[in-house]
Amino acid sequence: MNKAKSDLQEMFEVTDLGEPSKIVRIEITIDPKTGDIKLTQMKYIEELLRKYGLVDMNGVAVPMDLNIKFETLDGTGDRSNSYASLVGSLMFIAVATRPDTSANTAKV
């Protein structure tokens, strides 16, 4: 690591901020004894649950009736992009740290 930092400092102006703790909503924990690195997005997932009012929801094998008709809660007919935003956020979680949340995860 020190060699890589040194090489980069020779080519670029670099500021060493020390050990990372969070990068793009991915929390990083390094166990000082074992050197194990843990990546998690738990706080981000909890934030999404609160934002979309899903905190008290229960998990199920098939999360939604396939024939459901979406309607707005306030009756205005305004369909914001909140569904697309939630799906995008979940895709980020599946790709970044939780591939097990993806429907296409292969069983090994």
Q: Residue 104's pLDDT band (boundaries 50, 70, 90)?
A: low
Q: What's the rounded mean pLDDT across residues 11-16?
A: 91
The reported pTM is 0.58
- Give the tens place of pLDDT for each residue, 53-67: 888 887 777 667 778
Does residue 39 sit in helix, strand or coil? Answer: strand
Contacts 24+ apart (CB under 8 A), 90-96: 90/48, 92/25, 93/41, 93/44, 93/45, 96/24, 96/25, 96/26, 96/39, 96/41
pLDDT value for 79:
56
- Give the tens place of pLDDT for each residue, 40-55: 888 998 999 898 888 8
